[in-house]
Structure 1
């Protein structure tokens, strides 16, 4: 949503009618801030645009992964419906035979008559944060497939997810996604400010919300850039906020803040009232734990997690992330089958609920296909806004005869520089990538303005 000044030689668009004067008192603060906001939006868009473009493109690909899963892994995910049922212990035994060197880390019983049971293992040769998962027919006990999974994501979806988050570059790649998420909300808000103030001063409510279809040229591109950016702004802010929770540096700070404010996702205690004298087989225990959880009202889909250490309770958690969310969890005594503690979704802190809802929406699973279509529209909107931004820059590139300086040459007020600098320092404490890059921008902009001023002084009058 650019608001840069038109070049003197631009004659491909009709000139707007004169605008009525605006009270200096009302726009005094904005006049001091506008040049800095305008250049911030322009230069950040130029240099961070590629990162945002990559994030939007990979995110667009990610939105279709649920359908890819069904297409590529249909044999692993689905089975013919039947009234026959093999107990969970037998299913786990079959999965263990298929992954003989693995230790069970999670069991997801089949949530319906046409879906498989998932049994995940910690096994040698599996990548960090991945699991080896056996997909078992709950009616026959037959293992349909064994795949390496990332959480609940199957291989293709996991690969695309990693592409979106890190470009498969590990921690170095996480900086790219953090840079995109950090600046996306800044670009959205700065663009909103520039676009709305400009249109409000021209009394163009309709043209604020809808693009103009005038003669081809930079003015029409700017109209589409601003209007589409306006409609996409809320989505951009949401993607930025939820994306930062996964980031390398800001994500850790967000987690620490949530912990300090008691906004974290609550979990059940795995402490047992008494240390068991013997350990039952995993399969038999899983049947007992499942029966106890369902008897206490736990509904599918659920995940059963054995304890990491002996002498602890098992946990059973609902994993329904579509609306309405179901995220109850229980701790179950593996020996007696007694439910020791229950944490209900209704009792979660509001901040934890909002985080869970936002992340589910970001992943396109909150409202199913409707959520996916919304993300597709948002990703396409971000892509075209970035492309239009570069197109406007090209039409007014510095090498073009008669072109004015990019982002304008008007100097911002000292107060504006001080305020933005202070904001950069504060943001740097919480969002390091954003804070450091914002300070770098302020330094570069100040040097650039000084060079331009000295050049103008040297020019003959």
Structure 2
């Protein structure tokens, strides 16, 4: 038996107990490092998928032109345009099934007119017939969704929900909800690190350090590129959340509370009973209106009359003409110019009386509604045309690179000693919250609760990170003491 005795740990009186961990702003930084690490490891795969699918969707206008050129464009643009009624009649002669749901005038001289038909078997989708406006020749038809071609619809579903339906939208909401957190946290960490370096200059923040080696070199590329992308990534995060499922619902409540919704066009005809404009059901697809009298349905000439009244009221550019949604409702003619400067005016038209009964103007939209509308168009890459698309493509490629460098840093920081080898780096130390200044903790907890309510997916996943961290710590403690 060995004569070596176990060391005795002295018991200190209460007034000599060891002090607790020192609280300082360094503790807040350590906590932010751990949050940035966990978010990067677990959320980055979602960001990669969003970046790749978004990059593909960015160039749908060019892909549409390439794949559907014979439907979307005319062979020899120019010359007199055939009457709209003649174009619609040609489309109906070629495709008599279904009911006329809308007509969209050509956006440019080389584009075709779109005659949209509703068919019960297509559900939410429509049959869109493409007509040469110069010859009234039918170019063909496509099954569309809210005006999008099959290819654009497929890419949109891929980016939005990975073709997994409503449940698949959670992936994109996770990415949008965490993207701004990762970007903001990374900026704080990089700028804070720059303050303590000799290269604490604009150059040191914006440009990678090419003289560095190993993980320091990777970090400089990761951080400097992130700084350049920060504004665009924050924009995509904010606009993506506005149309997400859970955060989008909260945003809708904000619009309700602040009366920030776009003004609704009153399509009730003068003298019609209250609520007549909202009359839908069977009348919505089969009833037209001429001077207040219901007909079997709107015909080609009715569309041309409604367009003529709207043009006379100053509605220019490409427009969508929608027939009345009830026997006592007016036609709707709405501008559809999404390129800056946008045009979103719309009018309600009594085609029989030849007059405009109501109007909404883009200038009258509340500020929050304008920002939301423009943000969505910018997110989709149509607001500034090709420049918008190129910027989105650069941001998407940059996000892919930043994510790849982040994983590379994790790999480079792995232990390489023979007795401590590992495939990945060691996570930042646990327990950093114990060293965060109490006033910061007191102020931060209510903010987290508010964010968790406003962004439910962020709140739930953050709670999951905390539970995972606690369980991991307990398991390690059990192994050490076992």
TM category (shorter chain) comes to: 0.7 to 0.9
Cα distance in 2 for partners of 1:132, 1:402 equals: 61
- Counterpart of 1:32 in structure 2 is 27
Contact 1:134 1:144 in 2 (8 A): yes
Does structure 2 conserve the Cα–Cα contact (< 8 Å) formed by 1:424 and 1:436?
A: no
- In structure 2, the residue matched to 1:60 is 55
- The number of residues matched between the two structures is 431
Determine whether 1:437 maps to 2:432.
no
Instruction: Give per-residue Cα distances to partners, 1:243-287, cap 9 Å, x unaligned.
Output: 112211111221222122111122211110135123373322211
Q: What secondary structure is seen at the aligned counterpart in 2 of 1:272?
A: coil
Matched, 1:260 2:257: yes
Matched, 1:278 2:310: no
Deviations 1:309-361 (A, max 9, x none): 23211111111111111111111113212111221111111111111111111
Contact 2:264–2:360 (8 Å) recurs in 1:
yes
**Match 1:372 to one of 381, 385, 389:** 389
1:114 corresponds in structure 2 to: 110
CA-CA distance at 1:423 after TM superposition:
3.3
What residue is the counterpart of 1:126 in the other structure? 122
Q: Quick one: which of 180, 185, 208 aligns to 2:180? A: 185
Please give the alpha-carbon distance, in whole angstroms, between the structure 2 residues aligned to 1:412 and 1:453. Answer: 18
Q: What is the correspondence of 1:110-189 to structure 2 with a 5 Å cutoff? A: 110-128=106-124, 130-189=125-184
Pairs within 5 Å for 1:14-413: 30-79=25-74, 80-128=76-124, 130-203=125-198, 204-205=200-201, 206-275=203-272, 276-279=292-295, 281-397=298-414, 401=420, 405-409=426-430, 411-413=432-434
Q: Does the aligned pair in 2 maintain the 1:397–1:406 contact within 8 Å? A: no
Corresponding residue number in structure 2 for 1:13: none
SS of the aligned residue for 2:293 comes to coil
Give the conservation status (yes or no) of the 8 Å contact 1:55–1:177. Answer: yes
* Higher relative contact order structure (alpha carbons within 8 Å, sequence separation ≥ 6): 1
Q: Find the counterpart in structure 1 of residue 5 from structure 2.
A: none
Gaps of 5+ in 1: 1-26
CA contact (8 A) 1:267 1:329 kept: no
CA offsets per residue over residues 75-128 of structure 1, 9 Å max, x none?
Answer: 111112242332212222222333322222221112443221011122133253
Aligned to 2:449: 425
Deviations along 1:36-69, one digit per CA (max 9) or x if unpaired, are 2111110111111111100000111111111111
Give SS of 1:165's match: helix
Name structure 2 gaps, 5 residues minimum.
1-21, 273-291
**Contact 1:101-1:124 at 8 Å conserved across structures:** no
Larger Rg: 2
Q: CA deviation at 1:369?
A: 0.9
Give the conservation status (yes or no) of the 8 Å contact 1:318–1:328. yes
Q: Residues of 2 paired with 1:283 and 1:207: CA distance?
A: 65
Distance in 2 between the 1:118 and 1:235 partners? 34
The answer as to whether partners of 1:34 and 1:412 remain within 8 angstroms in 2 is no
Distance 1:263 1:234, change over 3 A: same
Q: Distance in 2 between matches of 1:111 and 1:167?
A: 30
Q: 1:178 to 1:398 in 2, by over 3 A?
A: farther
Q: Distance in 2 between matches of 1:381 and 1:420?
A: 31
Q: Deviations over 1:147-198 (max 9, x none)?
A: 0112232111111111000111101110111111111111111111111111
SS of equivalent to 1:125:
helix
Deviations 1:210-232 (A, max 9, x none): 11112441110000001111111
SS at match of 1:300: coil
- Tell me, yes or no, if the aligned pair for 1:411 and 1:449 is still in contact at 8 Å: no
Q: Indicate how the Cα distance of structure 1 residues 270 and 398 shifts in structure 2: closer, same or farther if over 3 A, else same.
A: farther
**394-403 vs 94-103, which deviates more?**
394-403
Does 347-356 or 89-98 show the bigger shift?
89-98
Contact 2:104–2:113 at 8 Å: present in 1 too?
yes
TM-score by length of 2: 0.84
Note closer, same or farther for the CA distance 1:274–1:93 as it changes in structure 2 (3 Å cut): farther
For the residue of structure 1 that corresponds to 2:121, the secondary structure is coil
Query: Kindly tell me: are residues 308 and 209 of structure 1, through their superposed partners in 2, closer, same or farther at Cα, counting changes over 3 Å?
Result: same
Aligned to 2:288: none
Cα distance between partner residues in 2 of 1:53 and 1:278 = 54
- Give the conservation status (yes or no) of the 8 Å contact 1:398–1:406: no
